[in-house]
Chain A
Amino acid sequence: MEATNTQTKTVIYDDSIVRAFSIITVVWGIVAFLVGVLIAAQLSFWQVNMGVEWLSFGRLRQLHTNAAIFAFVGNGMFAGVYYSTQRLLKTRMASDALSWANFWGWQIIIVAAALSYPLGLTQGKEYAELIWPIDVLVVLVWVIFGINFFWTLAIRNEKNLYVAIWFYISTIVTIAVLYIVNNLAIPTSLTHSYPIFGGVQDALVQWWYGHNAVAFFLTTPPLGLMYYFMVKAANRPVYSYRLSVVHFWSLIFLYIWAGPHHLLYTALPDWAQTLGMIFSVMLWAPSWGGMLNGLLTLRGAWDKLRTDPVIKFFVVAVTFYGMSTFEGPLLSIKSVSALGHYTDWIIGHVHSGALGWNGFMTFGILYWMWPRLYGTKLYSNRLAEAHFWIATIAILMYVVSMWVAGVSQGLFWRALDAEGFLKYPDFIESLTNSRMMYHTRLLGGLLFFLSSFLLVWNLVMTARQGKPVTVSVQVPARRPEGDNVSAWGLMTSAPMLFIVGILVFSIWFGLSGSMISPIILAILIIICIGAIISYGLHQKKWGHWYGLVERHALVFTVLALLAILIGGAVEIIPTVILSEEIPLEITDEMIAENPELAETAKWLQKPYSPLELAGRDIYITEGCYNCHSQMIRPFRHEVLRYGDYSRMEESLLDHPFQWGSKRTGLDLARVGGKYDNLWHYLHLMDPRSTSPASNMPGYTHFKTKTLDPQVYVGRMKALGQLGVPYSDEDYQLAEQRFLSQGQLIADDLAAKDVNIAPDSQMAAIIAYLQRLGRGPQPLAAEPVTAGGGAAGEASAPVVER
């Protein structure tokens, strides 16, 4: 909104959108914390699952994580970005309509997520569980946000882009790339789809996304906000603007490579694991650079820490950022990951970042921004102080209890006796020993949740004592002159050409053989020397270059995009190539031609039968991966406990992969055949009947709910399109095989006085669990074939490994 006279014009910012995002941040924050408390209570007391399928831990956990990330932090991010962007660019957002489309679109997504997760509608990929129609909406809303943001950049009244804006730009472009790539899927219905990636590819793409969702949704936006709001709260410029330049580029370049640290010691190729580990450790430096830049901004203003609760929140938030970015690289070291992975240590780490860094940054921003949005002072500093101290103690209770539980679990699982066998062979013992820590976590979570009502009370009273206001600034009537340099001119300038030259020859050097590599290296050195000479000759021009880039939003965005694409491409493309090289079907003739394929064939996964596929979909629906992994690491203690370690070939056909990231329960990669059908039935109906100390919810609805076999014919065909080697006969006989395999399980249980329907969810999930770690299982008492003749592959005899 602008009013113009001859010399200057008045720009009035749109703060109504900021108020709306701020209010909804608090609302969703309370929902996220409440669901967090509920699922923490479920882990402490299984009875809190209440026997209701919609409220079971596996379904609610994703509601909690998504509410915390996308609803609480996401809306807080939008509030902060809309507030600071307008002020840093000295212009109102380009379109009020797009701002509100962003707001309402985002809330519709959150409501859709809140409804779909309890209903069991999920893609089965952590932090990317939303079903495909909601994914489409997410992309649409994100594009709306992006258009509005970049349009605002285009009409700005400030020539220079402040560092906070750089972080917002990197967030917008990177999240778009990550979200679209990780959610590429083939829909089978309005509520179900299979990701196009499978097995190891899916694992890598998922954690490339998962880790960088942390990086570019939970880190770069709050860092941008830190560079604006902390500076404003301290009323002094950032400690070192030059450090912020290094911080930004090194952070966005390094973060994107770190995803594989979530897959250390899995079946991911070792080179990718090492790459993830090295870049994660390197991340330490820029993260701490940013943290120190934030903290040192308070130089000379530390006295405010005593009196200003906003500064308190910011300082502790940045300190938690430092702690979690120390802990993250530490956990990425392979030997540390060997101990910490799958344990509650990771849960503690995540929450120190989510509650401490993201939560406190959001609270600090709200406390600082809210009174300004209502033209008044904060209603009560004492209430804010109380909120700060209670929440800080709550986070410490949460994090410390999870550290203790996690390290204990890691040590417990790996403990061997003097003969080299498991000292604690019963997994449930580690759960029993963690129980007190789970209770402490619950108490910490509850305190954090309750303390947020102090925030609500304070904000409501602040709003009541003020009136909605906004801000106007005087800016020159004419927009600032451009630099008379086109995007193309900048992209083809000497510094840029040197950068491209170094990149191209670096890659060429890496790929070249021993004969040509010295020549490439020599060229690389010549380019570097050339760059130094060019700089010496045109110092002013070179010094001016980055200033031009930083003012040219398009070029800046392209460079940021390139920085993140390099890491993603280097990781994902070789893994895709590697997986493509493994044939999904290996015949005897192929082995005769290439004997090396014999080892691959031994482990190569065979397609699931229709009933097993249905069971797998139920496994995903119930979120079993939230507590059970399917990835045995190559450690003696894991092999002793679970069986032979997992190979890449064993899950190539899994869309999505189900390796998991947490073991509240056992690994299930080779659970097939370990127990009989009755054990599984009893365990699923009431886990305490077979494992007395278990905290797993019962799944009594498996017995009563039936499935439509026809649905799975369509799903098999979708998987067939993705390369799963189903034959036409498999499609034709799918319904028949579905029912006959179910009948086998039903008959087996009936012999032990348990009656289930052959098309029940119970039959399907048992079929799936009995298949894990084994080859195809019998599909019928008599082989089922199209012509009534010999059995096909799917009805081959039981294969044990």
Chain B
Amino acid sequence: MYQEFYAKSDLLIWPLIGLLIFVSIFTGVLAYVFFGLRDKGKVNALASLPFEPETLVPEDASNQFDGRPKGGPSK
């Protein structure tokens, strides 16, 4: 059946190639996640990136700093 199915068109091989590539990469990513990302401390540090301390500054005060190009009507 397999040969009969594929004999009808040369192009039918493309889905198979696609699946093969995907399975290879997906397996690689899974392997990395399960074996390469074991360090909990490192993972927690990455996951905590959005939680860095910040200080509120009035928009007017932000004008006092120089050293970077400004453009547009931002101020």
Contact = CB atoms under 8 A, between A and B. Distances in A.
A97 B67 contact: no
A249 interface: yes
A253 B69 contact: no
Nearest to B33: A242
B74 A242 contact: no
Interface string B32-75: 11111111001111111111111111110010011111111111
Interface stretch (A311-319, A467-475, A675-683, A727-735): A467-475
Prevailing SS type, chain A contact patch = helix
A17 B71 CA distance: 11
B68 A1 contact: yes
Contact of A574 (B14, B22, B65, B74): B14
Nearest to B13: A510
A458 to B, nearest CB: 21
A16 B60 CA distance: 11
Given A12-B62, A246-B33, A257-B18, A473 B72 contact: no
A278 B23 CA distance: 13
Prevailing SS type, chain B contact patch = helix
B4 to A, nearest CB: 14
A542 B33 CA distance: 11
A796 interface: no
Interface string A493-509: 00100010011001101
Interface stretch (A195-203, A268-276, A340-348): A268-276
Interface size class of B (residues with CB under 8 A): 35 or more
A162 B65 contact: no
Contact of B18 (A87, A162, A275, A511): A275
Given A87-B52, A473-B52, A237 B25 contact: no
A507 B53 CA distance: 49
A520 B47 CA distance: 41
B54 A87 contact: yes
A100 B73 CA distance: 8
A470 B17 contact: no
A507 B58 contact: no
A271 B70 CA distance: 53
Interface string A679-712: 0000000000000000000000000000000000
Contacts of A237: 44, 47-48, 50-51
Interface string A232-252: 100001100111011001100
A37 to B, nearest CB: 33
Contacts of A507: 17, 21
Contacts of A473: 52-55
B50 A162 contact: yes
Interface stretch (A133-141, A563-571, A603-611): A563-571
A579 to B, nearest CB: 12
B16 interface: yes
Interface string A96-139: 11111101100000000000000000000000000000000000
Nearest to B18: A570
Contacts of B55: 471-474
Nearest to B9: A271
Contacts of B13: 510-511
Interface string A1-23: 11110000010101111000000
Contact of B71 (A97, A499, A510): A97
B58 to A, nearest CB: 6
Interface string B5-24: 00001011111111111101
Contact of A543 (B19, B35, B72): B35
A469 B56 contact: yes
A539 B46 contact: no
A96 B69 CA distance: 7
A97 B18 contact: no
A245 B59 contact: no
B28 A278 contact: no
A96 B30 CA distance: 40
Interface in A277-315: 278-279, 282
Interface in A529-569: 535, 539, 542-547, 563, 566-567
Contact of A271 (B15, B21, B39, B74): B15
Contacts of A231: 50
A327 interface: no
Given A245-B32, A546-B32, A1 B62 contact: yes
Interface of A: 1-4, 10, 12, 14-17, 84, 87-88, 90, 92, 95-101, 103-104, 158, 160, 162-164, 228, 231-232, 237-238, 241-243, 245-246, 249-250, 253-254, 257, 269, 271, 274-275, 278-279, 282, 375, 467-474, 495, 499, 502-503, 506-507, 509-511, 535, 539, 542-547, 563, 566-567, 570-571, 574, 578
13 contacts: A84-B50, A88-B50, A96-B74, A246-B30, A269-B11, A271-B9, A271-B12, A470-B57, A471-B55, A471-B56, A499-B24, A570-B14, A570-B18
Given A472-B56, A545-B36, A567-B18, 14 more contacts: A87-B50, A100-B72, A228-B50, A241-B43, A257-B18, A274-B15, A279-B18, A499-B24, A502-B21, A502-B24, A507-B17, A510-B17, A511-B13, A542-B35
3 tightest A-B contacts by CB? A97-B71, A100-B72, A510-B17
